Amino acid sequence: MVLSRTKVFVLRSIQAWRYHSWKRASQKMASSDVGDKPMVLTSHVDELFAYPQIFVPVMEKYFQVVWWEDFEKDMERYARHIQGVLVNGGLPKVTAELLDTLPNLRIISTLSVGMDHLDLQLLKSRGIKVSSVPDVSSDCVADWGMTLLTAAARRLPEAIKSATDTTTPFNYNILGKKITGSTLGIVGLGRIGYGIAERALGFKMKVLYFDIMRQPEREAALGLEFHSCLDQLLPNCDFIIIVVPLTPQTHGMMGREQFKLMKPSAIFINIARAPVVHQDQLVEALQNKTIQAAVLDVTSPEPLPPDHPLLHMPNVIITPHMGANSLESRRGVVEAGCESCTAAIRGGAIPREVVLK
């Protein structure tokens, strides 16, 4: 659903009123309630883009939270007390300039699996610990990957519009693609990729995978077929789902030549990171019917501009980077990030610490 500018304005106005009301109350109680809680910097409360209000009490259970807006207004007041930074959705941006202002910083705890938004070498050079949340939301993202595959295969958005939009003919003949017995290619057999393979077997799919390292135990456990070359995997698949981290090696790994190798009936799904795909070359492949359809939970930029061709193609489904967006998963991510941050501040072993090489 696309919100109109008026609805977004009203939503943000209500949200801002709630936030500032809560903030005033929190400030009044700060001196008595914070006690010995460490001070941690993070981004902002925003029901559309950042922390929903429901997660604020989770963080306040652990920390005296300093919001970015307050930090910018009075750095001298907060800077020397801040011992951790919680990064949510890439914010706040961790730069050398920010690190220079935080003399007692011990850890950057990112509430994500990917770390392409962090300069790990910079953090290593400063002796600052790093943690991520690689395992908390894996099941939720795997669920979402199969949800998107099913939605595309059965042309779900088109079906919903046909049944509910009175300006659209009610169409009994929206013919989708059968999933049972088809072949799925998984690019990247990490936690999420393995979870998708488990779910795909419930659909009686044949599952092939490509990864930079063969994983014989996982392969044997599920009866998966390994391909050491991506170009050899692609022509055999009815569905291809991308689940790799963004690294220099995976940046732009899916482009014109890879799309040409796929079946004309193939459905391409990206739940990884947008730069893994040459987006303009994907547009070309869809326009030329080199492949049948695409499903993107990630785009570049997010959101796409209103005139972007991907927004106006009937064979494309786009969702707002929401693979981990269940209440249970998001709460778990915040809890895990806070636990890692607390451990680093106390000088203990850090759960989910990222080893900086």
Helix 156-164 and helix 138-153: axis angle, to 10°?
Answer: 60
The DSSP output letter for 86 is: E
DSSP 3-state of 27: helix
Q: Which of 295, 296, 293, 298 is nearest to 315 (CA)?
A: 293
Token pair recorded at residue 16: 């801002």
Q: Is 273 a catalytic residue?
A: yes
CA distance 69 to 42: 9
Which residues does 345 contact at the CB level (< 8 Å), separation at least 6?
38, 83, 84, 106, 107
Q: What is the DSSP string of 196-242?
A: HHHHHHHTT-EEEEE-SS--HHHHHHHT-EEES-HHHHGGG-SEEEE
Q: Which residues contact 68 (CB under 8 A, 6 or more apart)?
A: 41, 42, 43, 44, 91, 92
Q: Which residue among the candidates 273, 278, 330, 352 is catalytic per the annotation?
A: 273
Active-site entry in 81, 117, 321, 331: 321
Neighbour count for residue 193 (Cβ, 10 Å)? 29
Cα separation, 146 vs 191, in Å, equals 14
- Give the number of other Cβ atoms within 10 Å of residue 133's Cβ: 24
308 is catalytic: no
Residue of 47, 284, 302, 339 marked catalytic: 302
Q: Is 321 tagged catalytic?
A: yes
Which residues are tagged catalytic?
A: 273, 302, 321
